[in-house]
Structure 1
Amino acid sequence: MRAERIRVLLADDEHLIRGAVAALLSYEDDLLVVAEAASGPEAVAMAMAHRPDVAVLDLQMPGGKDGVAVATALRTGLPECRTMIVTGHGRPGHLKRALAAGVRGFVPKTVSAQRLAEIIRSVHSGGRYIDPDLAADAISAGDSPLTAREAEVLELAADGAPIAEIARRASLSPGTVRNYLSSATAKLHAENRHTAARLARERGWV
């Protein structure tokens, strides 16, 4: 009698990649892809509906929830589901956010399907796998110098929104927004808030 298979959710907005990974994992006798999702909110909904053992999440997805936000939601709503992040944009700050959210695996998209299957099994059994290169980068990059409020305001400024719009979305006064942006820009040694936002994103701090 075959042992119970590990139930897997795949979430990635790139349909070709997601489909290819699902097809490759189907060759593994002990793995079963029970659901797929193309956005953060869909990933949460599919996880709650299908209750997978392991959720394999792309870091960057549309819908207002990235992979770490999905992992955070599942940690509360479906604590028995273990989560993994697979990303083509591994930044040190992203790794730290993922670990804080209880993510058990953090791997680059360059990983082979066979290796991904091995990591899924390890994560399912209670293990943890962090890509060595990403871990080394995280250690060398250090912690973000930004406060939570500075990071929030800087992220809102990243798409070029005017001060008044940022203030409205953050429920702050325009003067307070300027102060936060000025402080964040100075801490990152950037010439303006747009450069500061880009630098913070590159380092995974927003």
Structure 2
Amino acid sequence: MIRTLLALDGTLIRGALAMVLAAEHDISVVAEVDRGDEVQQMLWARLPDVAVVDLDLIAGHGPGAVGPCPMLLLVDRPRVRGLHDMLTGRRTVGVLANDVSPHRVVDSVRRLARGETVVDVELVLAAFNANSPLTGRETEILELTAAGATVAEVAGSLGLSPGTVRNHLGRISRKTGARTRVEAVRVARDAGWI
């Protein structure tokens, strides 16, 4: 039996996930926590095999908020900045976006209990690249582009020529690894750069 602790803000979400996990034949929920300052204490008191934790709940408590077991961190995609500190030095960790299906959480709990690592690659890359590679001007251009402005409108708004804006957009695409402006906007938003 995989003893699982849930540390999630929000009674409805935590309760629903507890029901999904408890319905599995090999998983039991041994504790539920909704406050960040209680997570570490409960981890040591209940000694679960795996903890499913909302990163926002423990982000302000630093790496000391982690306990003796593998941890599946659920992360709000736009706010991945706190993830880097939580990953540093952990042997077994899981990282998923907080909008994944319950079945993916169930599978991840099992994998973590076996000592495997569970990773949403996009989230981890965003966490380790939380410092934006974009210059201030590139950020301005991408924000205007994200708002739906055309190249000509961006140029007019910033007092630049359309060619200069296109050059900036090309550099932004290279820095984000995107093939299109829409993809560059998505990458930058997911990383928290805009």
CA displacement at 1:101 relative to structure 2: 5.1
Give the number of the structure whose alpha-carbon radius of gyration is greater: 2
1:11 aligns with 2:3: no
Asked if the contact 1:68–1:97 (Cα under 8 Å) also holds between the matched residues in 2, the reply is no
Q: In 2 relative to 1, CA 28–90 (structure 1 residues): closer, same or farther, beyond 3 Å?
A: farther
The one of 121, 129, 134 aligned to 2:110: 121
1:69 aligns with 2:61: yes
2:83 maps to which residue?
95
Matches within 5 A, 1:9-48: 9-48=5-44
Matches within 5 A, 1:52-67: 52-61=48-57, 66-67=58-59
Q: Can you give the 5+ residue segments of structure 1 that lack an aligned partner in the other structure?
A: 145-201
**In 2, Cα distance between the equivalents of 1:128 and 1:117?**
14
TM-score by length of structure 2 reads 0.60
Asked if the contact 1:44–1:70 (Cα under 8 Å) also holds between the matched residues in 2, the reply is no
**In 2, Cα distance between the equivalents of 1:88 and 1:6?**
25
Residue by residue over 1:81-134, the C-alpha shift from the partner in whole angstroms, topping out at 9 and shown as x without a partner, is: 111211224544322112115260111111111111111111111111121221
2:98 maps to which residue?
109
Task: State the 4+ residue runs in structure 1 displaced beyond 4 angstroms.
Answer: 139-144
The one of 55, 62, 71 aligned to 1:83: 71
TM-score by length of structure 1 reads 0.57
1:135 aligns with 2:128: no
Count the aligned residue pairs: 135
RMSD between aligned residues: 2.7
CA displacement at 1:44 relative to structure 2: 1.9
CA displacement at 1:135 relative to structure 2: 2.7
Q: In 2 relative to 1, CA 141–106 (structure 1 residues): closer, same or farther, beyond 3 Å?
A: same
User: Tell me, what secondary structure is at the counterpart of 2:71?
Assistant: strand
**In 2, Cα distance between the equivalents of 1:120 and 1:130?**
12
**In 2, Cα distance between the equivalents of 1:20 and 1:101?**
31
CA displacement at 1:142 relative to structure 2: 4.8
1:49 maps to which residue?
45
One-letter amino acid of the counterpart of residue 15, structure 1? T
User: Tell me, what secondary structure is at the counterpart of 1:9?
Assistant: strand
**In 1, Cα distance between the equivalents of 2:117 and 2:78?**
17
One-letter amino acid of the counterpart of residue 16, structure 1? L
